Amino acid sequence: MIHQYVSNGYNIVLDVNSGCVHVVDEITYRVIPLVEEALAQNTEGIGNLAAYAAGRLSESSEEPVEALALQEVIGEILELKEAGMLYTEDIYEQYIDEFKNRGTVVKALCLHIAHDCNLACQYCFAQEGEYHGRKALMSFEVGRKALDFLVASSGSRVNLEVDFFGGEPLLNWQVVKDLVAYGRSLEEPHHKKFRFTLTTNGVLLNDEILEFANKEMANIVLSIDGRKKIHDLMRPHRGGQGSYDEVVPKYKKVAESRNQMNYYVRGTFTRNNLDFAEDVRHLADEGFEQISVEPVVAADTEAYALREEDIPAILAEYDKLALEYIRRKKEGKGFNFFHFMIDLEGGPCVAKRLSGCGSGTEYLAVTPWGDFYPCHQFVGQEEFLMGNVDEGIIRTDIRDTFKRCNVYAKEKCRDCFAKFYCSGGCAANAYHFSGSIDGAYDLGCELQKKRVECAIMIKAALADEEKEKTL
């Protein structure tokens, strides 16, 4: 299976199942799908393939291709095929099945430290922190049991992840600190390593918190939407006044004190700012180097929800952003954009790539009162209540449903070129938009595919630049 597209003047051919990325000239771009067709009809040998391709090319109104060049191109194509770098078969389905059937261990928890918030962001899926429920803070006792559960359920995994999430976790900061200390005390005796992360809206950030976080948190996610007017529109206080001015200076401090690493300024774009590349640019201009700005996920009854008719504008905006991204990198003023980052050389193994996000199996969310849900986005939906910190996982049936969920369980993902980068998408989005965790969230897919295309094009462009430098 191949996927080909033209972006920023590059003819890109992705050999989906090997992950190889080829940048090709125009003739090759036209010939590659024809050879695939011919091979599917069992045509063999360079001469026969060339004859087939020539026949098909003559049907098109585009410029004819010289016979000699055609032979040469097909020669190169076959060389890549021999090397397992083109037209590679999908041989992973059974492997992923076996992989998913292994014993389940839990390796990550999202602790809902506070179901309460000091902001009233319009698009919050937690509904001002309360997740369709009541306001509540997690007690140390509940958190301690959650960490004990994690250690006990993690088998031989060494690295364990715990995200302090909310609502707004800084509303319950003492418990966060106590849980970090407790977690650290478990590391040596159990031979584990905790990786703590914090997601905050910044309002309560201060020097004491920052100092602690810089010592203990592997990552900090700082919510900010971009330009002041956009941010203040969507992220106001409960009284309506914006939060931009108070959080930006604090975020700058975080970024600097962490040497511009291991943090993200993380925004959400909505129908109100389909020109979100401007917001990313704004954040970069403010000196942030780790940026993530992502599409809102909202019911289509909301005025700010993204609609199908917005897709062309959003895709064009990603293209625009990609060009800006390359330009700034080349000027030495680069930033990272979470969804354009792709690790072609050292990316994850195929098991990770195709087995889904892990919600409901290796990843669970814990409410302030200690209930388990498949992930933060399912919290509050009673049909997904899986168990609690005292009794562990009670609804093993829910776990098993999530366990089966992977790229091959989803009709749409099976044939999608983005599957190795997307892993079959977000189960929560799939559920909310299609009614089943094995369904798809079509709008999300369109954007995801575009981001993958941009990310790969950026690699091609930057590789080009490297070459120019060495010439």
Element (H, E) at 293: strand 290-295
77 belongs to the binding site for another protein (CB under 8 A): yes
Report the nearest approach of another protein to the CB of residue 94 (Å).
Answer: 11
Of residues 106 and 245, the one with the C-beta less far from another protein: 106
200 belongs to the binding site for another protein (CB under 8 A): no
In the list 227, 235, 376, 450, the residue contacting another protein (rule: CB under 8 A) is: 376
- Between strands 387-388 and 371-373, the pairing is antiparallel
19 belongs to the binding site for another protein (CB under 8 A): yes
Structure-token match 């939906």, residue found: 381
Report the nearest approach of ligand SF4 to the CB of residue 316 (Å).
Answer: 19
CA 181 to chain centroid: 30
**Do the beta carbons of residue 395 and residue 387 sit within 8 Å?**
yes
Q: Which of 312, 244, 324 is nearest to 284 (CA)?
A: 324
Q: Which of 453, 342, 421, 325 is nearest to 7 (CA)?
A: 453
Within residues 30-69, the interface with another protein by CB under 8 A covers none
Of residues 250 and 353, the one with the C-beta less far from ligand SF4: 353
* Cβ-proximal residues to 166 (8 Å cutoff; 6+ apart), any chain: 112, 113, 114, 115, 116, 117, 126, 129, 199, 200
Report the nearest approach of another protein to the CB of residue 241 (Å).
Answer: 26
Of residues 318 and 363, the one with the C-beta less far from ligand SF4: 363
153 belongs to the binding site for another protein (CB under 8 A): no
Of residues 306 and 427, the one with the C-beta less far from ligand SF4: 427
Decide: helix, strand or coil at residue 99.
helix
* Cβ-proximal residues to 117 (8 Å cutoff; 6+ apart), any chain: 124, 126, 128, 129, 166, 167, 168, 171, 201
Classify the C-alpha dihedral 222-228-233-239 as positive or negative: positive
426 belongs to the binding site for ligand SF4 (CB under 6 A): yes
Query: What mask, x for binding ligand SF4 by CB under 6 A, covers residues 443 to 462?
Result: --x--xx-------------
Within residues 369-398, the interface with ligand SF4 by CB under 6 A covers 375, 377
Query: What mask, x for binding another protein by CB under 8 A, covers residues 230 to 269?
Result: ----------------------------------x-x---
12 belongs to the binding site for ligand SF4 (CB under 6 A): no
Within residues 343-362, the interface with another protein by CB under 8 A covers 343-353, 356-359, 362
Report the nearest approach of another protein to the CB of residue 351 (Å).
Answer: 4
CA distance 437 to 407: 11
- Between strands 193-200 and 159-165, the pairing is parallel
Angle CA(254)–CA(255)–CA(259) in degrees, nearest 5?
115
Binding site for ligand SF4 (CB under 6 A): 357, 359, 363, 375, 377, 410, 412-413, 416, 418-419, 422, 424-428, 440, 445, 448-449
